[in-house]
Amino acid sequence: MRRLAIACALLLPLALAGCNEKQAVKIPPPHRMTAEDIGHYCGMNVLEHPGPKGHIFATSLIQPVWFSSVRDTIAFTMLPDEPKDIQAIYVSDMGKAPNWDQPGADNWVEARKALFVIESRVKSGMGGDEAVPFSDRAAAERFAGENGGRIVGFDEVPRDYVLTSANVTGGAASDEAAEGPPGDRSRRMP
């Protein structure tokens, strides 16, 4: 019995060390957005479009995957053919952005901790519906008050809002956007 107790006492630190290794998985920090970053779906430089952007890190990928819109970023997490070993999802914190045309190069928020204004009058840089991210509820409420829409968490963004073909960023533009170029109102941040 005593040998068993000694053996357990010696093995316990090793078992606990194994648990700590699993918790020590390092989450990659967000990258600063640069002119070299190309949108995964549109193949264009992410800086060429106004509005919030995103990038995702996956264990199976060497570099982050960049997106010209937050809707594209969220779509990546929903599509069956994309990697599922996602480590981090970063989106522009529009509460800290200088304005809609300049979403900021390094004001990121982890998407799963962000609040999103969906169904607003503001369109993405490609003319589709956008999920506008914020780290602060008051900033999201101000934006929704000025631009319409509702506030939801990451897991509450409706699948059809993100994946509907008429609204897919980089794909067919919505009917509203097809009527002409976006007006100044759709490009302004409050």
- Per the CB < 8 A criterion, the answer to whether 190 and 142 are in contact is yes
**Is 140 or 21 the better-scoring residue by pLDDT?**
140
Q: Give the CA-trace dihedral at 11, 12, 17, 19, to 10 degrees.
A: 120
pLDDT tens across 163-174, in order?
Answer: 986 444 443 333
Q: How far apart are CA 93 and CA 78, in angstroms?
A: 21
Least confident of 46-50, 123-127, 136-140: 123-127
pLDDT tens across 92-131, in order?
Answer: 999 999 999 999 999 999 999 999 999 999 999 878 999 9
List the structure tokens of 173: 């533009």
What is the pLDDT confidence band of residue 178, given thresholds at 50, 70 and 90? Answer: very low
Q: Give the CA-trace dihedral at 116, 124, 148, 152, to 10 degrees.
A: -20
At 63, give phi and psi (nearest 5°). -110, 160
**Is 75 or 166 the better-scoring residue by pLDDT?**
75
Report pLDDT for 12.
53
- Per the CB < 8 A criterion, the answer to whether 22 and 53 are in contact is no
Least confident of 19-33, 84-98, 146-160, 170-184: 170-184
What is the pLDDT confidence band of residue 11, given thresholds at 50, 70 and 90? Answer: low
Q: Helices in 24-57 by DSSP H: which ranges?
A: none
b/e map 64-84, b = 16+ CB within 10 Å = bbbbbbbbbbbbbbeeeeeee
Q: Quick check: 3 pLDDT over 60?
A: no
Report pLDDT for 174.
34
Residue 102, strand partner residues: 99
Residue 133, strand partner residues: 116
Report pLDDT for 105.
95
Q: Quick check: 84 pLDDT over 60?
A: yes
Residue 64 CB partners (closer than 8 Å, separation 6+): 28, 31, 55, 56, 57
- Per the CB < 8 A criterion, the answer to whether 71 and 57 are in contact is no
- pTM > 0.85: yes or no: no
What SS3 class is residue 55?
A: strand
Which residue type sits at 53?
K
Strands 150-153 vs 115-118: parallel, antiparallel or unpaired: antiparallel
